[in-house]
């Protein structure tokens, strides 16, 4: 399981890991083949037993490309590209926008967004020209603007400001001396439609953050001028795109990824466009990757295509080293990594720096604020109190907070499973302005208790830090101890977790990683906002190390902390009441990242 901090407009606290816990199972693991479903099935945020990989990171995003505010978007350059520039991103475009999806003040529904997304451009594509400076769309005239970005991603929010439910167009020219068959790598936030020389060649309507080469599109560029047009439709938050022609650097990586996915169609397409079948990624060939993932049909396909089956497979340590050294380079914030299987630690190392200013390297002993991994401990503490007959998960919220609005409708079970309907208080923009100051738990609850419910309790699922903040408060009220002392007595001391505690900004722990975020203005990482973790309580206020989290994992799944019946209940799926389902069992597919086989979806699960 890959757990990452949820996409948000609020900045991450200093030192909070952006890549928290990874868990993989060997060979045939059907739960990870196409998409990871973030759903109520993992009811209390615990990880499943198997091969445990823990990565604690202070970098903003070590496995993907994320849109950030770009300072280097300028209105200069040339939109014309002479010849193929393989593996290089197109950074100069004519752009037009922002065009609202709807002129109405209400949020457009999915049908409206789909209708606008599938609409043809409000201009004749073949008539696009640098001399055509504007187009009339509805009752408004929109100007084409020539922009250039030094970053691989063109950030449309940087050009137009933050826009929700809007679309923009971008076009460029590619001039070739002869016809060429190539593969376009396109990333977008959110949906994208692509035309080449007036013909629609690709479309993908999805809500996703942009990353490199999310969509692979085989195209034929003709001799002479080729006009490439993109439409990017945004839902909320980040908005932008990136585009390039894949070459010898990127084709092998895509081949490697497709082999792991068992995507024979993509493998065939990449090989037909010049991908080196024997190329290695992190020392592994596509055949190695297929074997590791248990893709027997893919391995057979690759052998039939002539792959060299005699290339030796590198050791697991060599592969992990290569992966992380490729990801964390130079004077960079980094990560601590621990891999264990069947109770044995197989690998643990640190990469990059815990503090850039003092050049302090990350080691397995480096302490990180673990963010939402805290929820595992909060949930387990609630279940422990139930084992001790001090509460029941069927208890109503009103039992502990008598004046909480609709408290008679909300159970502890709802809070544990993110099905309470209580609005997530960290989603409010104003939350970010106060995260550096201390707050008492009662005061924080007062700030969000009057918020309107997002839905009726038990009706839907929506991630809620509010729910876990309330759970932390309930633990203190029922146990008569602070959350810190309660966790220490019941969990940290019995498991030997000597480097895990509730974070106190007035007395920060020694050997704590400093948090950084990348500044495009400065062109380097800068210190992130230093949160006071009282603002998140039981939803995210702990710090720990990879070694301590290993001890935690071992203790949980060997029933040293919770009994077997409790663990079974924690992993029993919850049934929710669904409305407006899209397809069998699904509410909505939110995000999917083929490169990592990760994604998000909401689905119906029956108990």
The answer to the question of residue 324 being in a domain is: no
Question: 368 pairs with which residues across the strands?
Answer: 544
Which residues form the domain of 258?
Answer: 251-304
For the chain, the average pLDDT equals: 84
78 vs 217: which has the higher pLDDT: 217
Angle at 107 between CA 103 and CA 108, to 5 degrees: 70
224 with 274, same domain: the answer is no
Residues 368 and 222 in one domain: no
Residue reference for tokens 């202070």? 58
17 or 214, higher pLDDT: 214
> Is residue 232 domain-shared with residue 262, that is, in the same domain?
no
pLDDT reported for residue 521: 64
- Per residue in 508-558, pLDDT tens? 999 999 999 877 667 788 899 899 999 999 999 999 999 999 999 999 999
Confidence tier at 33 by pLDDT (50, 70, 90) = very low
Range with lowest mean pLDDT among 87-91, 150-154, 191-195, 404-408: 150-154
470, 504: one domain? yes
Look at residue 134 and tell me whether its pLDDT is greater than 90: no
**Spatial distance between the Cα atoms of 415 and 350, rounded to a whole number of angstroms:** 36
Asked if residue 15 is part of any domain, the answer here is: yes
Q: What is the pLDDT of residues 398-452, one digit of tens each?
A: 999 999 999 999 999 999 999 999 999 998 878 888 999 999 999 999 999 999 9
Instruction: Please compute the mean of the pLDDT values over residues 318-338 and round it to a whole number.
Output: 91
pLDDT at 109: 86
How many folded domains does the chain comprise? Answer: 3
Do residues 539 and 584 both lie within one domain? Answer: yes
Whether residues 443 and 420 fall in one domain: yes
Give residue 354's pLDDT.
96
Q: What is the pLDDT of residue 302?
A: 98
Q: What is the pLDDT of residues 476-503, one digit of tens each?
A: 999 999 999 999 999 999 999 999 999 9
Is residue 581 predicted with pLDDT exceeding 70? Answer: no
Evaluate if residue 588 carries a pLDDT over 50.
no
Question: Are residues 372 and 293 located together in one domain of the fold?
Answer: no
Task: Tokens 């707050």: give the residue.
Answer: 439
Q: Is residue 321 part of a domain?
A: no
DSSP strands (E only) in 376-494: none
Residue 282 makes CB contacts below 8 A (sequence gap 6+) with 314, 319, 322, 323, 326
Q: Which of 201, 222, 245 is the last residue of a domain?
A: 245
- pLDDT score recorded for residue 45: 39
Short-list 75, 236, 227, CA closest to 143: 75
CATH number of the structural domain spanning residue 107: 2.60.120
Same-domain status, 268 and 226: no
Contacts of 403 (CB under 8 A, 6+ apart): none
- Burial pattern 57-72, b for ≥16 Cβ within 10 A else e, equals bbbbbbbbbebbebbe
Residues 267, 385 share a domain: no
Tokens of 555: 């203790």
312 domain-assigned: no
Query: Does some domain include residue 452?
Result: yes
Q: What percent of the chain has pLDDT over 90?
A: 67
Does the residue 310 lie in any domain? no
Q: For position 284, which CATH number holds?
A: 1.25.40.20
- Residue 467 in any domain: the answer is yes
Q: What is residue 7's predicted lDDT score, i.e. its pLDDT?
A: 28
Confidence of residue 10 (pLDDT cuts 50, 70, 90): very low
Q: Could you tell me if 37 and 123 lie in one domain?
A: no
Residues 379 and 262 in one domain: no
Note whether residue 67 is domain-resident. Answer: no
The enclosing domain of 362 has a CATH number of 3.40.710.10
Q: What is the mean pLDDT of residues 208-237?
A: 94
What pLDDT does 237 receive? 83
Residue 577: pLDDT band (50, 70, 90) is low
Same domain, 448 and 583: yes
């Amino acid at each position: 399981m890959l757990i990452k901090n949820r996409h948000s407009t609020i900045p991450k606290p200093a030192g909070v890991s952006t890549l928290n816990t990874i868990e993989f199972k060997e060979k045939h693991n059907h739960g990870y083949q196409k998409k990871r479903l973030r759903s109520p099935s993992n009811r209390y945020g615990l990880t499943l037993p198997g091969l445990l990989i823990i990565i604690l990171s202070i970098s903003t995003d070590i496995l993907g490309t994320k849109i950030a505010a770009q300072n280097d978007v300028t209105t200069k350059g040339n939109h014309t590209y002479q010849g193929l520039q393989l593996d290089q991103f197109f950074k100069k475009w004519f752009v037009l926008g922002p065009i609202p999806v709807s002129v109405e003040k209400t949020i457009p529904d999915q049908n409206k967004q789909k209708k606008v997304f599938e609409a043809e451009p409000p201009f004749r594509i073949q008539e696009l020209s640098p001399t055509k400076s504007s187009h009339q769309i509805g009752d408004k005239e929109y100007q084409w603007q020539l922009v250039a970005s030094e970053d691989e991603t063109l950030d449309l929010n940087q050009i137009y400001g933050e826009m929700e439910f809007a679309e923009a167009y971008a076009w460029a020219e590619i001039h070739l001396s002869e016809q060429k068959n190539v593969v376009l790598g396109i990333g977008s936030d959110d949906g994208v439609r692509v035309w080449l020389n007036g013909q629609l060649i690709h479309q993908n309507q999805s809500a996703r953050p942009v990353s490199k080469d999310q969509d692979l599109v085989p195209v034929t560029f003709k001799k002479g001028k080729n006009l490439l047009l993109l439409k990017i439709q945004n839902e909320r938050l980040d908005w932008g795109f990136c585009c390039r022609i894949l070459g010898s650097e990127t084709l092998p990586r895509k081949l490697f990824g497709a082999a792991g996915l068992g995507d024979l169609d993509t493998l065939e397409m990449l090989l037909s466009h010049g991908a080196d079948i024997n190329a290695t990624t992190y020392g592994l060939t596509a055949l190695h990757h297929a074997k590791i993932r248990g893709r027997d049909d893919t391995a057979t396909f690759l052998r039939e295509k002539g792959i060299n089956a005699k290339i030796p497979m590198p050791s697991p340590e060599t592969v992990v080293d290569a992966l992380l050294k490729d990801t964390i380079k130079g004077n960079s914030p980094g990560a601590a990594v621990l891999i264990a299987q069947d109770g044995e630690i197989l690998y643990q190392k640190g990469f990059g720096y815990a503090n850039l200013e003092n050049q302090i390297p990350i080691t397995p002993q480096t302490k990180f604020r673990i963010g939402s991994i805290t929820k595992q401990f909060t949930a387990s503490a609630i279940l422990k109190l139930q084992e001790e007959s001090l509460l029941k998960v069927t208890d109503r919220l009103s039992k502990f907070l008598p004046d909480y609005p609709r408290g008679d409708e909300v159970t502890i079970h709802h809070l544990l499973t993110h099905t309470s309907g209580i609005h997530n208080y960290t989603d409010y923009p104003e939350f970010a302005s106060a995260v550096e100051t201390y707050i008492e738990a009662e005061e924080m609850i007062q700030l969000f208790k009057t918020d309107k419910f997002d839905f009726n309790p038990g009706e839907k699922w929506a991630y809620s830090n509010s729910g876990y903040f309330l759970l932390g408060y309930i633990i203190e009220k029922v146990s008569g101890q602070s959350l810190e002392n309660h966790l220490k007595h019941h969990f940290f001391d019995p498991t030997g977790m000597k480097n895990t505690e509730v974070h106190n900004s007035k007395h920060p722990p020694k050997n704590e990683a400093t948090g950084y975020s990348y500044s495009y203005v400065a062109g380097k990482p800068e210190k992130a906002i230093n949160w006071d973790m009282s603002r998140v309580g039981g939803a995210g206020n702990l710090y720990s190390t990879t070694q301590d989290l290993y001890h935690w994992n071992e203790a949980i799944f060997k029933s040293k902390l919770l009994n077997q019946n409790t663990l079974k209940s924690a992993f029993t799926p919850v049934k929710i009441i669904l409305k407006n389902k899209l397809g069998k069992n699904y509410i909505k597919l939110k995000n999917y990242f083929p490169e990592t086989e990760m994604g998000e979806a909401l689905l119906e699960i029956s108990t």
